[in-house]
Amino acid sequence: MSISIAETTTSQEAQEELANELLNQAQNASQLNSSQVAQLVGNLEKLLDGSSVSKAVGQKVINVVSNLMEGNSVALSASANRLVQVVEDVGLKLIVPGDREILSSGSVVLAVRSIDGTNFPQTSFNIFNTDNVQLRALSRSRSKRSGSALGSVSLPSSLTAGLSPEDQQLANRVQFTFYTKPALFQDDALNNQTLVSPVLAASVTNLSISNLAENIQFTIQNVNPIDGNYSASCAFWDFTQNGGGGWSSAGCFVVNNTPEETTCSCNHLTSFAILLDLSREGIIDRQQAQILTFITYIGCGISAIFLALTLLTYLLFEKLMRDIPAKILVQLCLSLLFLNLVFLLDGWLALYPVVGLCISTAFFLHYFLLTSFTWAGLEALHMYLSIVRVFTPYLSRYMLKFSLIGWGIPLLVVIVVISVDKDNYGVVTYGKYTDGTSDDFCWLRNDIAFYVGVVAYFLLIFALCLLVFIIVMVQLSRIKKQNPQNQPPNRGVMTDLRSIAGLIVLLGLTWGFALFAWGPLYLPFVYLFTIFNSLQGFLVFIFHCAVKENVRRQWRTYLCCGKLRLAENSDWSRTATQNRMNLSVATATTSAPHLTSRNSSVISDSTNSNGSVFADSGISDSSNSDAILNDIHRLNISL
């Protein structure tokens, strides 16, 4: 034991001796060139290699950094980020015998307070000058900041509530750093902008925390008052911007500003790509994350509106619900609507430090994601039964069985996931941004649960949908080669492309973009994934509601007035009757009587208004504009 104490004492003495030597070297900082500064910073990093730092050594390190900040800014620039990290390391390793410790110098102030991460106290930091620093726990009623402070920040008691139990145990200290001048934070890319305030930072044991019930706001006094010709903006230091660090305002905004001081806050961002991000790493560029977030929430909001319109259209008009594909489409739209609504609420609900609320949100988000996959798969299965297994015998209670599969199987999956461990759902940290922050989201926390309960499930459905899509394309190619004379005269390439696009949207093939979001292709495919899948509901409305002739006729019959209104006994009804007559004639002339009876059983099963299982298998209504399924319809008549 005595040997251990002697070794520790010797080590501390050696650290203090090295710290004194480095402090002497930094006395004439203005005379140091960039290589000498870099060598000095390297020695500071070696000094802090140990697991702890005494107050004496820590104070000397802060003094060295402060002296260097008074030196040549050009010589300092290459080592600026390393010096900032040196100050952070002092705060992480500083021995705090009581509940707080403050190290102060002419240009840098470091305040550290010991905390209990499982019961975080509301903590405020106010600096009036480098010798007058207030670091204390406050009740909400006493949290008002003094107006004369150079800088202040108040951390709410809910700060660590969103952390996992393991991270809460690690959160044993909070540290505040105040730089009186931005000497370590020079950015040539500011152009016509000028730094007008000191730099204030706060961190909790170097953890990324953004699951906040209350936003953290910083108030900093402007070094020089801002006159009316200029506007203030808030920014954070991005250590990788411009190759060596730079200021970025992405996600940060001004809460309040006067000529003397500015109050800033930053928001939290989440993009739609989190649902099927196979890497589970997220975006590291906050600006890209912000763009993706805007796309996501705008797209999901638009999709929710148009999914509701699609549902209202099909549920209000009985004629549209006579066939199986329309019933499957309604179930798919209902599932997508719930998925979009839960996703839109997720980021907001994640702000509340209520564990059960986040678990429930993640549970339902997972469930509706799986139901959306499943109903797309059932649409593909129905197409397969209609196109490949044309003579499949009548299946009793067809939609009942589909409904049990579409809503039941996903329910079993999420029940198994939550039964194994309820903590499989909860707050996940998504996106490790270059500024050290991240975003939180209520989702699947366990990687195994994610890859089995989402990725594997998706791959199974995606394989089925892709197979059906290929079969439909092959059938179309056969038709064009075998019956070129039967092609409608008004058919063009755009008609085919529109039908193909409608089929891709219906089968959810755009979710496949997630499979290619790897390596250098990660960002472009995340953009494609986010754009197409957040807008999937809107695209479903366009291709399977707005452009369908029978839907438009229902709108014109019951919703329009004047010249746009159609009579109930319109040309559409006569066209449908003629289609049934043509089908009867074509069927009667077939060379195999037993095929006629088998085909009739399929027709009665689908209860299609025009007598064909192909004419409205999700993308067609036997109008001239729905070319692909009409061609397949003619092919099967020829059988």
Reported as a single tens digit per residue, the pLDDT across 260-301 is 788 877 654 445 555 666 666 666 666 788 888 889 999 999
pLDDT greater than 50 at residue 339? yes
Specify the pLDDT at position 362: 94
User: What was the pLDDT predicted at 500?
Assistant: 86
User: Is the pLDDT reported for residue 113 higher than 50?
Assistant: yes
The tokens for 308 are 């509701």
Residue 516 has pLDDT above 90, yes or no: no
Who has greater pLDDT, 113 or 257?
A: 113
Q: Which residues contact 206 (CB under 8 A, 6 or more apart)?
A: 88, 92
The whole-number pLDDT of residue 273 equals: 58
**Strand, coil or helix: what is 427?**
strand
Query: Is residue 53 over pLDDT 70?
Result: yes
pLDDT at site 431: 57
Q: Give per-residue burial for 496-510: e unless 16+ CB within 10 Å, then b.
A: eebbbebbbbbbbbb
- Which pLDDT score, from 0 to 100, does residue 573 have? 46
β-pair partners for 266? 252
Q: Residue 203 gets which letter from DSSP?
A: E
Q: Which H or E run contains 314? A: helix 286-316
Considering only residues 357 and 478, tell me which one the structure prediction assigns the higher pLDDT.
357
Q: Which two tokens stand for residue 429?
A: 């940290």
Contact 124, 138 (CB under 8 A): yes
Which pLDDT belongs to residue 340?
A: 95
What confidence tier does 30 reach under pLDDT thresholds 50, 70, 90? confident
- Listed residue (136, 268, 257) closest to 214, CA to CA: 268
**Residue 591: its pLDDT value, please?**
35
- Separation in Å, CA 631 to CA 27, 465, 595, 612, 615: 86, 20, 20, 12, 9
pLDDT at 110: 92
- Residue 441: helix, strand or coil by DSSP? strand
Paired residues of 441 in beta bridges: 428
Residues 6+ apart with CB under 8 A from 483: 634, 635, 638
pLDDT at 186: 78
Q: State the pLDDT at residue 305.
A: 96
| Residue 388: other Cβ atoms inside 10 A | 13
70-79, 324-333, 521-530, range with the lowest pLDDT: 70-79
Report whether 29 contacts 57 (CB < 8 A).
no
Residue at token pair 């006569």: 574
Return the half-sphere exposure (C-beta side, CA atoms, 13 A cut-off) of residue 349. 21
In this prediction, residues 498-524 reach a mean pLDDT of: 87
Lowest mean pLDDT among 144-158, 379-393, 428-442: 428-442
pLDDT at 341: 95
Lowest mean pLDDT among 233-237, 238-242, 284-288: 238-242
Whose CA is closest to 203, among 186, 216, 220? 216
pTM for this model (two decimals): 0.55
Q: What is the pLDDT of residue 449?
A: 92
State mean pLDDT over 433-457: 79
Q: What is the mean pLDDT of residues 579-604?
A: 37
In the predicted model, what is the mean pLDDT of residues 60-78?
88
- Range 432-449 burial, b when 16+ CB lie within 10 A, else e: ebbbbbbbbbbbbbbeeb
Look at 576 and 509; give whichever has higher pLDDT: 509
pLDDT for 281 equals 61
- What torsion do the CA atoms of 55, 56, 60, 66 make, to the nearest 10 degrees? 40
Per-residue pLDDT band for 392 (boundaries 50, 70, 90) equals very low
Question: 281: which 2 tokens?
Answer: 């790493």
- Read off φ and ψ for residue 32, nearest 5 degrees: -85, 140
For residues 47 and 635, what is the distance between their CA atoms, to the nearest angstrom? 81
- Which own/partner pairs from 404-409 qualify as long-range (CB within 8 Å, at least 24 positions apart)? 405/374, 405/378, 406/331, 406/335, 406/371, 406/374, 406/375, 406/378, 407/371, 407/374, 409/370, 409/374
Average pLDDT for 45-54: 88
15's CB contacts (< 8 A; 6+ apart) are: 47, 50, 53, 54, 57
The tokens for 344 are 């839109």
Ranges 213-227, 359-373, 495-509, most confident: 359-373
pLDDT at res. 117 = 78
pLDDT band at 570 (very low <50, low <70, confident <90, very high): low
Mean residue pLDDT across the chain: 77
- Residue 603 pLDDT: 30
Residue 322 confidence class, pLDDT cut points 50, 70, 90: confident
Residue 42, pLDDT > 80, answer: yes
Q: Please give the radius of gyration of the chain, using alpha carbons only, rounded to the nearest integer.
A: 33
Burial of 34 (0-12, 13-18, 19+ CB in 10 A): middle
